[in-house]
Amino acid sequence: MAAYSVVLPLKTLMFYSVAGIIAGTLVHSAACVWNDICDIEFDRQVERTKTRPLVTGAVSVKGAYILLFVLLAPSLLMLTVAILGLIGIFPLHGSYPFMKRWTWWPQIALGITMNWGYFVAWTAVCMKVKWNVVPVFFIGTICWSVVYDTIYACQDRKDDIRAGVKSTALLFGNRVRQILILFAVTFVACMYFAGHANHHGWIFIVISVGSACAFFIWQFYVWRVDDGSDCMAKFKANGEIGYAIWLGMALDYYYIHQSLV
């Protein structure tokens, strides 16, 4: 969306895309390691996670900290918007694992943390925030994070009650499907309005917005809430629909780029 906004040259977009993929993978991997370090005692009490390497001792806590440093060091060097990036890595990623101890809404914290990179990427490309686009889409992606991470958490509800882990999966209870539909609708609406404010064309609307609508209709119709394996499958499917959303943005950018060449 940022590249579309300023009609970024294709080679520059490719450079930012590769850098973003590398940095995003490093930061995400570091966050997963940090989360596993913080959750060792919880993971011992949950059937699905009790065989994780830190729990079984296959990897030592010291080794996990060394890996954490190895992952963070190059990602810090790659930050082009230092202050925004540091906020994402330390206060947000650093505090997220503890949210499930403090609040029934850790999925909101996850959404803010996981999607903070949107602010970083936009500012790196455009050097300033487009306030009628960026916050709107950011709020939408937070809602999407609530959807997929609540689905993920549904597979552990019984164990989480015993372990004392808080989540929206437990908070929403028997109304989890209906409430998540509202979050999904909000995400799609935010994506549409942010795209409209950013002057995206029909390609974005049809592919990005359209595929998201079709996906969520399918997902909530067939999702078996109390089936752990199906919850994991639906969680993973959210990652796959992300490629379709990205494809719509990429093709819309390519179309406007070619029309100006």
- Rounded CA separation 254/63 (Å): 44
81: exposed, middle or buried (Cβ count in 10 Å: 0-12, 13-18, 19+): middle
Kindly give, in sequence order, each residue whose CB lies less than 8 Å from that of residue 62, ignoring residues fewer than 6 positions away: none
- Rounded CA separation 36/19 (Å): 26
Question: Token pair for residue 188?
Answer: 């799609």
pLDDT computed for residue 89 by the predictor: 61
pLDDT computed for residue 46 by the predictor: 85
Q: What is the CA radius of gyration of the chain?
A: 19
pLDDT computed for residue 92 by the predictor: 81
Instruction: Give me the sign of the Cα torsion angle 170, 229, 233, 34.
Output: positive
Low-confidence ranges of the chain (pLDDT < 50): 82
- Rounded CA separation 241/204 (Å): 14
What are the extents of the domains in the chain? 7-260
Tens-digit pLDDT profile for residues 129-172 = 888 999 999 999 999 999 999 999 999 998 889 888 999 999 99
pLDDT computed for residue 162 by the predictor: 86
- Rounded CA separation 73/19 (Å): 15
